[in-house]
Chain A
Amino acid sequence: MTTDTSLKDAIDQQTHRGFLAWLISRQIFWILLAVIIAIIAMMLLTKTFATPQNLFNVTRNFAFVGIVGLGMTAVIITGGIDLSVGATVLISAMTTTIIMHAGLPITLAIPASIAASLLVGLINGVLIAIVGMPAFVVTLGMMSIARSIGMVMSNNALIYEFGPDQAILFSIGGGSVVVGGLPIPNPLIVMVLLALITGFALRWTRWGRHLYAIGGNEKAAVLTGVPVKAVKISVYMFVAFCAGLTGFLQTGWLGSVTTGFGTGLELTVIAATVIGGASLAGGTGTALGAVVGAALIEIIRNSLTLLGISTFWQGTFVGSFIILAVASNLLRNKDTGE
């Protein structure tokens, strides 16, 4: 083999680029920057943003999107999608509600609501991985089925009576842990833990590696002996687990459950993951990206409210960020010759 020095130098140069160059090539860096700028701007522009009460609300709202976003990121890495997460949140919340309303203990409600959600994920996963149907269609159907079943379960009643363990339910979902004088909402703690676990799993386990491989080239994954079907089923169950967790926590926070629970959540969550750097084509995405994307969306929503701008504008901002994120992805891929 000939030693082509100039070529070798050129290749080496690319690997040994500086830290700064590496940093600015990351989408997540720009999104994080946008989040920080938005926070600073809001602190300067309003007196209401940096109040403990507002921050408490922002972080809790963002935690719900973040938790589901972590699961959605795992699904999107495999090149799939799950449109049924909003409806799964409703299923989980309804299961919690019915069990606790009947006077049964919360120790039964938690596993039951998670099990109901996992069942939704299992059905999605089997139809997608084993039957081989497109994820978009399966989860679109499931979105409709799960929401309708949730409505049937509720019997169209607004339930706000949760039996003997009501106080525990409300304190889990709506409570907080005081760290250094600051109240940290429980859902935020759950999100941080889940983000650490997800981030670890994506980077350091075979399961995580296989998710990226399936998203990159599913046929190659099959040929090299990756258990593609099992991994795909597990990932739809994982996102359903995240949605189930959110449903349970949100029930405790809101103190009542309506049939509209989780409506439109799927789009917010997908937006958060795409803004955070996951590509709908599959093969890319990080846990940190999901969290930062969710933070940006929530800060935009909150800022518009505090600045007195109609919340109707929220969609315009979030939509613009999605398009910007995808556009910047496209430009970067052009740089690397793809």
Chain B
Amino acid sequence: MAVLELANIAKHYGAITALTDISLTLNAGEVVGLVGDNGAGKTTLVKIIAGNFHPSEGSISLDGQVVQLHGPKDARSKGIEIVYQDLALADNLTAAANIFLGRELTTIARTPQEAELPFWQRKRGWRLFMPEILDYRGMYKKAGELFAELKSETRPRDLVRRMSGGQRQAVAIARTRLSNPKIVLMDEPTAAISVRQVAEVLNLIRRLKEQGIAVVLISHRIPDVFAVCDRLVVLRRGRKVADKRVADSSPEEVTGLITGALQSA
């Protein structure tokens, strides 16, 4: 069964149409590349999946159930995580601190799930009188495990300020793993980093796939899409013009589809 299914999604802003009739399925352990020129509607589509925008038409199903996503927090609680283009990391904090940002482990909240609750739910009953102290050891340990799982050499105690672009990506991706998501959306993860680091990030995406997570990779870099994706979806002017297995396509064809030299495939 599809982890995520979009049926006839459309998005209008007044008279302007950003997306028209987009249908898309996403299976567990599948990496789908979402490509298209600037303004093709990639960001709008991702923001709909991430719960930032409501679609004007159409429906979203998770595991076969039609759902309404009320904001990014709701999407996150339903198993959809997003890695933002600028990664949303605080440079002055350690890798572990960034992974646990907003859901820090404490003497009261022992799991990330507990830590995500607001304090009036965390500190019920007798816990109200307990001092809530950060559990540094627990957070370093869990962060170390996540990096090991991703086969990244990033260390939990290092400051993000001192990290390479690839290591920063590892931190942002490890953060999504904290809540065992079903779907990870990645917005241009290879846009501003060196060649060696790109290889590192693509490996991270493969690790997510191995864990059975469905990944949507938004990218301008066609070679990266071909290196790591199973399937690719091409958007042009708000419409889906292609949805095919990477093995059945070629970079030339995809470029043609993006620019409009090829109408559809």
Interface residues of chain A, those whose CB is within 8 Å of chain B, are: 1, 8, 11, 14-15, 203-206, 209-210, 212-213, 215-217, 219-221, 223-227, 283-284, 336-338
Contact = CB atoms under 8 A, between A and B. Distances in A.
A220 B88 contact: yes
Quick one: which of B92, B97, B158 has the most chain A CB within 10 A?
A: B92
B151 A1 contact: yes
Given A220-B90, A225-B116, 4 more contacts: A15-B155, A15-B157, A206-B134, A215-B92
Contacts of B158: 11, 15
A209 B92 contact: no
Contact of A216 (B92, B134, B151, B200): B92
A216 B152 CA distance: 24
B244 interface: no
B152 A283 contact: no
Interface stretch (B15-23, B28-36, B98-106): B98-106
Contact of B88 (A14, A205, A212, A217): A217
The secondary structure that dominates the B interface is: loop
B84 interface: yes
B91 interface: yes
24 contacts: A1-B152, A14-B162, A203-B134, A204-B134, A205-B132, A205-B133, A209-B97, A210-B102, A213-B90, A213-B101, A216-B90, A217-B88, A220-B87, A220-B88, A220-B89, A223-B88, A224-B88, A224-B101, A224-B175, A225-B102, A225-B116, A227-B118, A283-B91, A336-B162
Contacts of A213: 90, 93, 97, 101
Contacts of B221: none
Contacts, number: 79
B159 to A, nearest CB: 8
B102 A224 contact: yes
Contact of B106 (A8, A14, A206, A337): A206
Determine which residue in B91, B102, B116, B157 has the highest number of CB atoms from chain A within 10 A of its CB, and name it.
Answer: B102
B88 A219 contact: yes
A11 B164 CA distance: 12
Given A15-B155, A338-B161, A206 B132 contact: yes
A284 B161 CA distance: 13
A204 B97 CA distance: 12
Nearest to A206: B104
Give the size category of B's interface with A: 20 to 34
A225 B98 CA distance: 12
B73 A225 contact: yes
B91 A217 contact: yes
Tell which of A215, A223, A224 has the most Cβ of chain B within 10 Å.
Answer: A224
B44 interface: no
B89 A284 contact: no
A212 B103 contact: no
Contacts of A338: 161
B53 to A, nearest CB: 15
A336 B92 contact: no
B88 A337 contact: no
A221 B93 CA distance: 12
A337 B158 CA distance: 15
Q: Which residue, A217, A219, A227, A338, has most C-beta atoms of chain B within 10 A?
A: A217
B153 interface: yes
Interface string B64-92: 00000000110000000000101111111
A223 B103 CA distance: 12
Contacts of B264: none
Nearest to A279: B92
B133 A204 contact: yes
Interface string B113-133: 000101000000000000011
B8 interface: no
A212 B153 contact: no
B255 interface: no
Contacts of A1: 151-153, 200, 203
Contacts of B134: 203-206, 209
A210 B92 CA distance: 12
Interface in B125-177: 132-134, 151-153, 155, 157-158, 161-162, 175
B93 A212 contact: yes
Which 10 A-B residue pairings sit nearest by Cβ, starting from the closest?
A216-B90, A283-B92, A225-B102, A220-B88, A216-B92, A224-B102, A224-B101, A217-B90, A223-B88, A226-B102
A221 B102 contact: yes
Among A14, A220, A284, which residue has the most Cβ atoms of chain B within 10 A? A220
B88 A284 contact: no
Interface in B194-224: 200, 203
Nearest to A220: B88
Contacts of A209: 93, 97, 101, 104, 134
B152 to A, nearest CB: 7
